Chain A
Amino acid sequence: MTDVSNDVREFASQEYQYGFSTDLDTDAVPKGLSEDVIRLISAKKHEPDWLLEWRLRAYRHWITLEEPHWQNVHYGPIDYQDIIYYAAPKPKPQLASLDEVDPELRTMFDKLGISLAEQERLSGVAVDAIVDSVSVATTFKRKLADVGVIFCSFSEAVQNHPELVRPYLGSVVPYRDNYFATLNSAVFTDGSFCFIPKGVHCPMELSTYFRINAADTGQFERTLIVAEEGAEVSYLEGCTAPMRDKNQLHAAVVELVALEGARIKYSTVQNWYPGDADGRGGIYNFVTKRGKCAGANSKISWTQVETGSAITWKYPGVILQGDNSVGEFYSVALTANHQQADTGTKMIHIGKNTHSTIVSKAISAGHGQNTYRGLVKTLRSAEGARNHTRCDSLLLGSDSGAHTFPYIEVKHPSAQVEHEASTSKISEDQLFYCRQRGISEEDAVSMIVNGFCREVFKELPMEFAVEAQRLLSVSLEGSVG
């Protein structure tokens, strides 16, 4: 009885939120989580036995765990038995034209400068433009195949390249890693797989391809990127367009593996629904992202721009195993209204002369709470390891908060670890100066905030840097005065 009324309520709220109706799903497994559900998911996806075993081991471990509550964020209890863990992919509801799209969403698209064709694609409008993007995607796919790059959905990779998936799956984020990563390991439905063979420099930003082919992000997404010796790739996840999803809990896992001399650049722009002005209904984004510089002279660089979600909880890290390997983390996290973010990185220095750089820019507006939490650890083997950390916080208004929790563990006497932190406010003097020059207060705030983030934006692929700036300005609207 309770279940039914919950269903009704959920269904009703969906209609309200999106302004269009969704057909009831017929091809879904029952609510809740059990070994049977996992077997069913695995069977529906025609998975090999080893993967099913792996999922089950994860599940059996998960049921022994308690949900962690050490993060500096607050939310009500999550009922894990009230989640549907598998639903067959179904097409987005199709709209006849952009006129049917939520006007609020369209205003946002316009402000972000997203082209009409892309607006139509993102909102699921059925038009001929889709045909174009399919042909573009096919061209890209051929170009990638020519150099031996594999880029496909995780499910396809399991079917077609199990010999590449199996040795690396869980090699960076083991299924026992943490509560949410363990849950993901048990129930993940899909994600992306990317393999760049030895010596190959991926001929395009995978963002370009990704944007055209952006599939619905699942609730439990799993991504694995492997760059062999000397290979290079730049990957962009997400987009600046606002993303709404009926699933509140998102627990993704991303694993990156860089072999000797390989370079992986992973950029994220996250703009998921943050909830209404009072913070109701926003997405919980509890993600585990980690890269391993497995070989000498390899490099992994994370760049993230986080403006969405009600709660963000993520620490993209790098395990610096190979000698002379390099790890980088550049982050802009903006929390407005009642958003909460607890984010940062982990740099684990194992190899000799390993270097890491951390630049974190946190902006809190409204009642937003922003926490930087970072771990820099140098093991006994990490002779000559170096880290430089810069953590800057910018506060807008008197109800917002910024918090910094740096953890530093040094086991080798030759290691050098530097940590700089600052907290500032946009000063009245700065605003008056800009306004005296004819710049409105809102434009001045967005200009000052963008200046504050410049060091991170310059790490983004060019076209995304421009979009990210706009996104920040749009996200800040209404937080002034």
Chain B
Amino acid sequence: MMLKIENLHAQIGDNEILRGVNLEVAAGEVHAIMGPNGSGKSTLANVLAGHEAYGITGTVRFEDEDLLALSPEDRAAAGLFLAFQHPVEIPGVGNLYFLRMAFNSVRRRRGLEELDVMGFLALAQERMKLVEMDRSFMSRSVNEGFSGGEKKRNEILQMTILEPKLAILDETDSGLDIDALRIVAGGVNALRRPDRAMIVITHHQRLLDYIVPDRVHVMAGGRIVRSGDKDLALELEEHGYADLGLEVASDRSASVGATP
């Protein structure tokens, strides 16, 4: 099993946001996590990536390693990638520079040789085609002045360059028009491989028309309350979360801010 989460709890202050998450993801699989606002989806993504704002109990094994013991940068080197829901801007830092720095940092941590500027540029240009980005993106500052869609494409570009084993996409579809959605999904599908897994967090069944999942999970109140195959997403689309008999209303206390 590539990822094994057992009884994962996470809280900020007295506010418990994850209340015992259990999840197993095997290599080659795509899992979708759906659920209402504030159900803990983004918190799960942040906790897996190593955000330090949370008090955490439970265990997470990533390729048989204790994931929770690693720093965020070591998790990245181990092959975990998070496409952020709200990618930050870094003024004055060129996108190409940032990408190469990330790429080489990860390579260094993995004990691999770093790529020089020319070598990296060639790689970046090839991957940019996957998300239909032109060269002008590279000379702009990281995410600064990017439209919502451009930011999300930039996240997927980073993913194609860093080639993670496990990619977590946190609401990558939110705020995208249909063309941008097609481009982003195309980039993601191009990366599907038997030795790579993905967790796709989304509000909408729409994304799952493009990225077809092997498993669908529904989160509510900080737990995974239902799991099924891709038909579960269609069921949700049709009936909404309320009809599934989920304890959404009683878990309001967990509904504080999807991002920390």
What is A's interface to B at a CB cutoff of 8 Å?
Answer: 427-430, 432-441, 443, 447-448, 450-455
What's the nearest-Cβ distance from chain B to residue A434, in Å?
Answer: 8
Using A428-B53, A452-B92 as known contacts, list a sample of 11 further A-B pairs with CB atoms less than 8 Å apart, ordered by residue number in A.
Answer: A433-B84, A433-B88, A436-B75, A437-B76, A437-B105, A439-B102, A441-B73, A448-B93, A451-B91, A451-B141, A454-B92
Set of chain A residues within 8 Å of B75, measured between Cβ atoms: 436
Set of chain B residues within 8 Å of A451, measured between Cβ atoms: 90-93, 141
A441 to B74, alpha carbons, bound, how many Å? 12
A455 to B105, alpha carbons, bound, how many Å? 26
Q: Indicate whether A435 sits within 8 Å of B162 (C-beta atoms), given known contacts A443-B101, A450-B93.
A: no
Tell me if A432 and B92 are in contact (CB < 8 A).
no
Set of chain A residues within 8 Å of B84, measured between Cβ atoms: 433, 436
Set of chain B residues within 8 Å of A430, measured between Cβ atoms: 88, 90
Which A-chain residue is minimally distant from B80 (CB atoms)?
A436
**In this assembly, does B8 line the interface, its C-beta being within 8 Å of a C-beta of chain A?**
no
The 8 A-B pairs at the shortest CB distance, nearest first, are namely A451-B92, A451-B93, A437-B102, A438-B76, A438-B106, A454-B92, A435-B72, A438-B105
What's the nearest-Cβ distance from chain B to residue A468, in Å?
Answer: 14
Tell me if B141 and A438 are in contact (CB < 8 A).
no
Which B-chain residue is minimally distant from A454 (CB atoms)?
B92
Contact of A436 among B50, B53, B86, B91 (CB under 8 A): B50
Set of chain A residues within 8 Å of B92, measured between Cβ atoms: 450-455
Instruction: Tell me the residues in window 133-191 of chain B with beta carbons closer than 8 Å to chain A beta carbons.
Output: 141, 158, 162
A452 to B144, alpha carbons, bound, how many Å? 13
Set of chain A residues within 8 Å of B82, measured between Cβ atoms: 436
A440 to B50, alpha carbons, bound, how many Å? 13
A439 to B50, alpha carbons, bound, how many Å? 13
Set of chain A residues within 8 Å of B49, measured between Cβ atoms: 432, 436
A438 to B84, alpha carbons, bound, how many Å? 14
The binding surface of chain A is classed by DSSP as helix
A309 to B102, alpha carbons, bound, how many Å? 34
**In this assembly, does B55 line the interface, its C-beta being within 8 Å of a C-beta of chain A?**
no
Tell me if A439 and B105 are in contact (CB < 8 A).
yes
Q: Indicate whether A438 sits within 8 Å of B162 (C-beta atoms), given known contacts A432-B72, A447-B98.
A: yes
**In this assembly, does B125 line the interface, its C-beta being within 8 Å of a C-beta of chain A?**
no
**In this assembly, does B253 line the interface, its C-beta being within 8 Å of a C-beta of chain A?**
no
Instruction: Tell me the residues in window 82-113 of chain B with beta carbons closer than 8 Å to chain A beta carbons.
Output: 82, 84, 86-88, 90-93, 97-98, 101-102, 105-106, 109
Tell me if A443 and B105 are in contact (CB < 8 A).
yes
Tell me if B105 and A427 are in contact (CB < 8 A).
no
**In this assembly, does B71 line the interface, its C-beta being within 8 Å of a C-beta of chain A?**
yes
A437 to B161, alpha carbons, bound, how many Å? 11
What's the nearest-Cβ distance from chain A to residue B150, in Å?
Answer: 16
**In this assembly, does B77 line the interface, its C-beta being within 8 Å of a C-beta of chain A?**
yes
**In this assembly, does B51 line the interface, its C-beta being within 8 Å of a C-beta of chain A?**
yes
Set of chain A residues within 8 Å of B162, measured between Cβ atoms: 437-438
Tell me if A448 and B90 are in contact (CB < 8 A).
yes
Tell me if A435 and B93 are in contact (CB < 8 A).
no
A430 to B101, alpha carbons, bound, how many Å? 15
Tell me if A437 and B158 are in contact (CB < 8 A).
yes
A434 to B87, alpha carbons, bound, how many Å? 10
A427 to B141, alpha carbons, bound, how many Å? 17
A428 to B53, alpha carbons, bound, how many Å? 10
Tell me if B88 and A447 are in contact (CB < 8 A).
no
Set of chain B residues within 8 Å of A440, measured between Cβ atoms: 73, 105
Q: Indicate whether A438 sits within 8 Å of B87 (C-beta atoms), given known contacts A443-B105, A447-B93, A450-B92.
A: no
Tell me if A447 and B101 are in contact (CB < 8 A).
yes
Tell me if A438 and B90 are in contact (CB < 8 A).
no
A429 to B81, alpha carbons, bound, how many Å? 16
Set of chain A residues within 8 Å of B76, measured between Cβ atoms: 435-438
Set of chain A residues within 8 Å of B109, measured between Cβ atoms: 438
Set of chain B residues within 8 Å of A454, measured between Cβ atoms: 92-93
Residue from A436, A440, A453 whose CB has the most chain B CB atoms within 10 Å? A436
Contact of A435 among B50, B53, B81, B158 (CB under 8 A): B50
Set of chain B residues within 8 Å of A447, measured between Cβ atoms: 90, 93, 97-98, 101
Which A-chain residue is minimally distant from B142 (CB atoms)?
A451
Q: Mark B215-257, 1 if CB is under 8 A from A, else 0.
A: 0000000000000000000000000000000000000000000
Set of chain A residues within 8 Å of B91, measured between Cβ atoms: 451-452
Name 5 A/B residue pairs within 8 A (Cβ), A-sorted.
A433-B88, A437-B106, A438-B109, A451-B91, A453-B92
Tell me if B88 and A438 are in contact (CB < 8 A).
no
A452 to B98, alpha carbons, bound, how many Å? 14
Set of chain B residues within 8 Å of A428, measured between Cβ atoms: 53
Which A-chain residue is minimally distant from B92 (CB atoms)?
A451
Set of chain B residues within 8 Å of A438, measured between Cβ atoms: 73, 76-77, 102, 105-106, 109, 162
Which B-chain residue is minimally distant from A448 (CB atoms)?
B90
A436 to B98, alpha carbons, bound, how many Å? 12
What's the nearest-Cβ distance from chain A to residue B44, in Å?
Answer: 15
Tell me if A429 and B50 are in contact (CB < 8 A).
no
Set of chain A residues within 8 Å of B158, measured between Cβ atoms: 437
Contact of B87 among A433, A435, A448, A453 (CB under 8 A): A433
A436 to B75, alpha carbons, bound, how many Å? 8
Q: Mark B36-77, 1 if CB is under 8 A from A, else 0.
A: 000000000000011111000000000000000001110111
Set of chain B residues within 8 Å of A441, measured between Cβ atoms: 73
Set of chain B residues within 8 Å of A452, measured between Cβ atoms: 91-92
Q: Indicate whether A429 sits within 8 Å of B88 (C-beta atoms), given known contacts A437-B102, A437-B158.
A: yes
What's the nearest-Cβ distance from chain B to residue A271, in Å?
Answer: 22
Which A-chain residue is minimally distant from B72 (CB atoms)?
A435
A435 to B102, alpha carbons, bound, how many Å? 9
Set of chain A residues within 8 Å of B86, measured between Cβ atoms: 429
What's the nearest-Cβ distance from chain A to residue B197, in Å?
Answer: 17
A430 to B89, alpha carbons, bound, how many Å? 7
Set of chain B residues within 8 Å of A453, measured between Cβ atoms: 92
Set of chain A residues within 8 Å of B101, measured between Cβ atoms: 439, 443, 447
A441 to B73, alpha carbons, bound, how many Å? 8
What's the nearest-Cβ distance from chain A to residue B134, in Å?
Answer: 22
What's the nearest-Cβ distance from chain A to residue B13, in Å?
Answer: 16
A277 to B58, alpha carbons, bound, how many Å? 41
What's the nearest-Cβ distance from chain B to residue A360, in Å?
Answer: 15
What's the nearest-Cβ distance from chain A to residue B97, in Å?
Answer: 8
Which A-chain residue is minimally distant from B143 (CB atoms)?
A433
